[in-house]
A and B are shown apart, each in its own frame.
Chain A
C-alpha cells in the first residue's frame, strides 16, 4: 500500500483556493490543487491549449482558469470546459491522516518518453 503511494507532505502546505507545484526530474511538473471546499487534485501543470502553468490560475469551484488565455480546466478530469477542447492528464491523489499521497505509478507515468 505505502509503496504504491508517494507521500508529498502535509495538506496544510497548500492554502485553500490555490495550487503548488511538484517538479518531476525528467518528467512533467505536477500541479497539486486545493479548492475552497478542501478537495485535493493533481494535474500535469500544463494547459492543453498552450501549455500554460495551471498552478498559477485562479481556482473557482473545481475549476482552474489558465493564467495564459483563461481556458477553464476541470480539476477532476483535466478536461477543458465550455467551448474549448483538450485534456490534461490527472494524477490519482488521496489524502490520509493529513498528508497528501500521489499514485506513484502515475507520477512516473508522466515522465517524458
Chain B
C-alpha cells in the first residue's frame, strides 16, 4: 500500500470524511474495503466489525488447513498492518447485534455503538443444520470457520471415527482432511450422486469410486434419522433405513444459507438473501450488502468468484462511478489433493444443447462439454482439469466456438493447433509407429497395413488386429485411418447398440464379462458412452445385460426399466393398467376365480378377457390401485403373471393323457413344472412356452419360443417359433425320453438365449441370425454343456422367484404408485 499518500489524503479531507461501517470481517467485507480504498482512499472513515477474534483470512483455504497442507498464517489475507496502514478500526470478536436505520447506528454485543453514514452488510452465510434429534450434542460441528477446524483437529488427534453428513464440496473436503488426519471417515449423502449440483452421474460415480479406494465409506441415498449420543457426546449416526455408523465426531456440511438475521431485524427487504440491486444497494440507499448474504437478480451465490465482481460494482457505486454487477457464471474445483475435478456452467443438457463426451477409462478420464448455439455453456472435467480455465474463459466470454467445435473436447492445445482442426489431418500427421490402441499395443502402421490387407470396416479391423476391440477409446482414430486409407470405400460396421455408443450388443456383452463391469455408469464410462446417461434404448438393455451377467449381485435399476416392468402391469392406451395373475400351466380353481371376480367388481374393471396364453386379464386398473388389487390376488394364492415383462410369460398346455383320449403324456403336469421352473426369469425379450400332449398340437407348441410335443416314445423339443408379425414355425431341436430331460434342455436353451441374444431380440430372429446349428452346437457339442447351462439358469432363478407383487403390497417402491399431492383449484391447496 502507498502509505504516505494515504496519510496526506486523510489529513486533507478529514473534516468531510463519511463514516463507513462494515459488518463482517470476512472475504467479502474486506475485499469491498480494498476495492474502495483503491479507488478513493480518502473518502471513508472505515470501521469493520468481525464476529471472529482474528484478522481477515481466506475461508476457502480452510480445507487445506484441515488437511495439514497449509497453516493459518498461510491463509491470512490481511494482517494487522493492513488495518493500521489504512487507518481502519477493526472490532474483532464483538459481533454486531442490531442496526438502527432511523438513527444510523449499529450496536455490538459489548454495547459498543457506532454511527454510520454508509453501512455495508457482509455477514456471509451460516451452515445449515438439519433438524434431527442429537444435533446439539457435543462433537457435532459445522465446517465454516477456523474454530470448526480446530474442533475437528482436536477430535482427529484422538483418532477414531468421523461421520460427515453431506457429500457436497464442503463435506467431501472435510472428509478428505479428517481422513488424512487418520480418522476412519464415513460420508452420508442424501442424494444418489456426490456433489450432484456440480457433477453429473458419470463424474459423481468416478469420484465415489476414487474416494472409496482411498478408504472412505461413501453412503449415497443415506437419510440421517438421528445423531446418537452417549453421556452428552456424539457416539453414532443412525440412518432412516436403520444403518448405524460409529462417530467420535460428526461434521454437518449439508449446505449454507445466507446470513440475513440482522438485515431482516432491521426491516431491510430480505427474501432468500438480502435483496440488492446491480450496485449492491439494499432497500435502504444508505445500506449496501455484498457476498454470500445477498440475493442479486434472484440468485444467491455460495462460491468465492462472484465476490470479486460484486465488490468491484459496490466500490464503483460507493465512489460515485457506478458500473453495475450483472451476475456471475461460477465454476467449482474440488480441493482434494490427487483428485482433479472441475465443473462450470450449465451441464444439464436440454434443447438445442449438444453434449460432447470423451472418456478414457485407462486414464480415469471423463470430459463433457455442453454446446448450445455454437457457444460453450457448461463443462465437467474429471481426471484432467488442465483445460478447466480455458473452457471457463470460453464460457464466460460466450465466444463462438463453431470453428473449433470438432476439436473442442480435446482441449486448448489441440483446438488451437491450426492444421490439427481436422481430426483426420491430425491422424494423418502421426508417425507409423505412433500407438493407436493402447489396450492391445497396436501402432498406426499396423492398423494401416491391416486395412490395406482387406479390412474395410471397423469390425474387420477390430477382429483382425484387435485395434479398438477392447475399451473402444481409439475408435475415432481407427475410423479416421479407415477414411484416410480407403477414401470413400469404408464399409459401415455392425449396427451399434444405439447412438450413445460405437459398440454393438455382442461387444458390450463380451466386455461386461471381460472387464468385470457391474453398474450402468461404469459401463458408460469404461466403454466411452457419448451421452451422459444413455437413452431409452441402451439403459434397459444394459440393465438386462448386467442382471444376466451378475445374478444375485447386480441391483436392478428401476430407472432403466420400461414402464410395464417398473409397474409390474401392462400400460394401456388410456394410461390405466391391465393385470394378469399367474395360472400355472393355464390351470385355475374356484378360489382363484372368485378372487378375480371380486377384484373386477371391487375396482370396477371395465373388462376381463381370456388371453391367448390361457390367462385372465383384468383391464382398467389405475396405478394407485395396483398394490391393493395385488394384495387381494395374493390373498387367494396368486402371484404376478409377468404378462408385462421381457421374461417368461406363460406355459400353455392341453389336457394331455389325464383326460384326452389321444394324449400320450401328462402335458398339463409337465407344463406346470416348466412354469414353476422358469417363472420370474428376465430374458432379452418375452418368452412363451407350450406343451402339447400329442402331435395334434392343441397348445400350438410349434409357434412358441420353446415348444414340447409329446409322443408315445417321449418328448420332441422345438425352439424359435413365433406367432407375431412374422409367423415362424419352430425348428426341431432334439428328442428326449423323460420329463426331467425335457426340463433340463429347456433350462439350458433359455440360458443360452439369455446369454447370447441381443436385448429385444426374440428367439425367432436370434436363431435366424446365428443359425440353428450354432444353437445346437452351443448346447450339445460338449457333453456337459446342457447340464452346466441349466445349472446357471437354476442358480439365477434362486434370486428371481419372489413375487414382485407381494413386495409392492408390502410397501416396496410405494412412490411409484402414489401421486405427489392433489391440486383442488377452488381452494388452491395441496393435500399430500
B663 at the A/B interface (Cβ < 8 Å)? no
Q: With A7-B830, A79-B351 in contact, do A58 and B271 touch (Cβ < 8 Å)? A: no
Contact of A67 among B257, B348, B571 (CB under 8 A): B571
B822 and A60 form a contact (CB under 8 A): no
- For chain B, the count of residues having a C-beta within 8 Å of the partner chain is 53
Shortest A12–chain B CB gap in Å is: 7
A16 at the A/B interface (Cβ < 8 Å)? yes
B832 at the A/B interface (Cβ < 8 Å)? yes
Residue of B nearest to A27 (CB): B825
In the bound assembly, the distance between CA atoms of A68 and B562 in angstroms comes to: 10
Shortest B427–chain A CB gap in Å is: 30
Interface string of B247-275 (1 = CB under 8 A from A): 00000000001000000000000011000
In the bound assembly, the distance between CA atoms of A104 and B828 in angstroms comes to: 8
A103 at the A/B interface (Cβ < 8 Å)? no
B539 and A58 form a contact (CB under 8 A): yes
B825 and A60 form a contact (CB under 8 A): no
Instruction: Please give, as numbers and ranges, the residues of chain B lying within 8 Å of A39 by CB-CB distance.
Output: 348, 350
In the bound assembly, the distance between CA atoms of A60 and B223 in angstroms comes to: 25
A22 and B819 form a contact (CB under 8 A): yes
Shortest B261–chain A CB gap in Å is: 16
Instruction: Please give, as numbers and ranges, the residues of chain B lying within 8 Å of A77 by CB-CB distance.
Output: 351
Instruction: Please give, as numbers and ranges, the residues of chain B lying within 8 Å of A74 by CB-CB distance.
Output: 350-351
Q: With A21-B819, A37-B349, A74-B351 in contact, do A9 and B832 touch (Cβ < 8 Å)? A: yes
B200 at the A/B interface (Cβ < 8 Å)? yes
A57 and B536 form a contact (CB under 8 A): yes
In the bound assembly, the distance between CA atoms of A23 and B536 in angstroms comes to: 26
In the bound assembly, the distance between CA atoms of A13 and B821 in angstroms comes to: 11
Interface string of A1-36 (1 = CB under 8 A from B): 100001111001111111011111111001010011
Chain B positions 780-832 with a Cβ under 8 Å from a chain A Cβ: 815, 818-826, 828, 830, 832
Chain B positions 533-555 with a Cβ under 8 Å from a chain A Cβ: 533-536, 539-540
Residue of B nearest to A23 (CB): B822
Question: What is the interface of chain A, defined by CB distance below 8 A to chain B?
Answer: 1, 6-9, 12-18, 20-27, 30, 32, 35-39, 50-53, 56-62, 65, 67-68, 70, 72, 74-77, 79, 96-97, 104, 107-108, 111
Q: Besides the contacts A8-B820, A62-B350, what 20 more A-B pairs have beta carbons closer than 8 Å?
A: A15-B815, A17-B559, A22-B821, A24-B822, A25-B823, A26-B825, A36-B193, A36-B532, A37-B532, A50-B573, A58-B539, A60-B535, A60-B539, A67-B563, A67-B571, A72-B536, A76-B351, A79-B351, A97-B272, A107-B825
Sample of 15 A–B contacts (CB below 8 Å)? A6-B823, A8-B830, A20-B815, A20-B820, A23-B822, A25-B825, A36-B193, A57-B563, A58-B562, A60-B536, A61-B350, A62-B353, A70-B536, A76-B350, A104-B828
Question: What is the interface of chain B, defined by CB distance below 8 A to chain A?
Answer: 190-193, 196-197, 200-201, 223, 257, 271-272, 347-351, 353, 355, 531-536, 539-540, 558-563, 566-567, 571, 573-575, 623, 815, 818-826, 828, 830, 832
